[in-house]
DNA sequence: TTGATTTAGAACCATTTGGTTTAGCTTATC
DNA sequence: GATAAGCTAAACCAAATGGTTCTAAATCAA
């Protein structure tokens, strides 16, 4: 059982709530990169970028392996699964499937009316 | 094209990053409720709960309609679609489809080697 | 009209966030 | 050994978050 599932979701959603961190994740989906490479395009100081990576690490979205003086980061997308399933519960609502379901039910009712008429 | 798409994602992910706000969304997926009803189970003061609803409104996840002294809130799941599609880009990675793809490619290579041997 | 209900808003507070600069520690290179 | 590269840590700051309490306004009900 997952008692602190909520905390995980807190961390993941929080991590995703900053454009710099989403950018980092996107770049890591291509390849492993070290901090300098990650920080380079981020219009902020190196320590600031380093902190963002740390936030992603705490959310378990990034793993780090130290090779010499280089800290290589790689994506771990697993926690995104939890976030996705949470959101997924609302898919029907934004896709308007309820209306579509209504249409299907109307169709079924129409068919039953048709059969009833034929059976007469 | 959506220039401030990022800001929308910021707001949505930020809104989802607090358990109280996720709880509010879940309760609203059942039925429209006013602030008192929403605040009741939230182990915090009414103003605090009210602020959380306001955050959800700014993220366009909740709409409010005032009826007398009652502020009725209803879910608008549409912005969740953007969040879901952003996350969706990583589904392959957490589902390990790359490994599976690797296996498929290995299989193909093996077949080609087989054919090359037969052609000899 | 009086009084209770529902909500907003302001003031306040502690903590977190997101950024900076500076300093220092390893590790590689010359 | 000197110097550069890659990174952490600390100190600092402004602004945002998440909570509180108190006050006040609007609406409903007796």
- Can you tell me which residue has the tokens 């705490």? A58
Average pLDDT of the segment spanning B32-60: 98
Percentage of the residues of chain B whose pLDDT score is greater than 70 = 78
Judge whether residue B112 has pLDDT over 70: no
Tabulate helix, strand, coil % of chain B (nearest 5): 70, 10, 20
Distances (CA, A) of A75 to A26, A56, A72, B7: 9, 9, 10, 23
**Any B CB within 8 A of A83 CB:** yes
**Are A49 and A20 a contacting pair, CB within 8 Å?**
yes
Question: Measured in angstroms, what separates residue A42's CA from nucleotide D9's C1'?
Answer: 21
Domain ranges of chain A: 5-77, 90-120
Residue B120: the pLDDT is: 39
d(CA B95, CA A62): 16
Q: Left if phi > 0, otherwise alpha if psi is -120 to 50, otherwise beta: which for B83?
A: alpha
Q: How many CA atoms lie within 13 A of B88 on its CB side?
A: 10
Lowest mean pLDDT among A3-12, A25-34, B20-29, B74-83: A3-12
Judge whether residue A113 has pLDDT over 70: no
Residue A69: the pLDDT is: 97
Lowest mean pLDDT among A113-117, B1-5, B18-22, B64-68: A113-117
Considering the domain delimited by A5-77, tell me its CATH architecture.
Orthogonal Bundle (1.10)
Distances (CA, A) of B31 to A45, A85, B43: 47, 21, 21
Query: What confidence tens digit (pLDDT) does each residue in A47-69 have?
Result: 999 999 999 999 999 999 999 99
**Any B CB within 8 A of A17 CB:** yes
Indicate which of B2, B13, B23 best probes the interface with A, i.e. most A CBs within 10 Å of its own CB.
B13
Average pLDDT of the segment spanning A79-97: 94
* Residues paired with A34 in a beta bridge: A72
Q: Which residues in chain A touch residue B6, judged by CB atoms under 8 angstroms apart?
A: 19, 22
Q: Which of A5, A3, A4 is nearest to A82 (CA)?
A: A5
Residue B119: the pLDDT is: 46
Q: Which fold is adopted by the domain B5-76?
A: Arc Repressor Mutant, subunit A (1.10.10)
Average pLDDT of the segment spanning B3-10: 86
Average pLDDT of the segment spanning B85-104: 81
The nt closest to B21 (CA vs C1′) is: D18
Average pLDDT of the segment spanning A86-105: 79
Residue B21: the pLDDT is: 98
């Amino acid at each position: 059982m997952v008692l602190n599932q909520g905390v995980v979701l807190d961390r993941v959603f929080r991590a995703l709530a900053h454009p710099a961190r989403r950018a980092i994740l996107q770049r890591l989906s291509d390849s492993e990169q070290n901090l300098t490479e990650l920080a380079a395009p981020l219009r902020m100081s190196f320590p600031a970028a380093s902190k963002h990576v740390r936030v992603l690490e705490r959310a378990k979205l990034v793993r780090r392996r130290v090779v010499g003086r280089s800290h290589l980061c790689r994506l771990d997308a697993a926690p995104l699964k939890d976030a996705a399933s949470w959101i997924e519960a609302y898919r029907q609502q934004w896709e308007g499937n309820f209306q579509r379901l209504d249409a299907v039910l109307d169709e079924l009712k129409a068919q039953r009316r048709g059969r009833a008429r034929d059976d007469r």
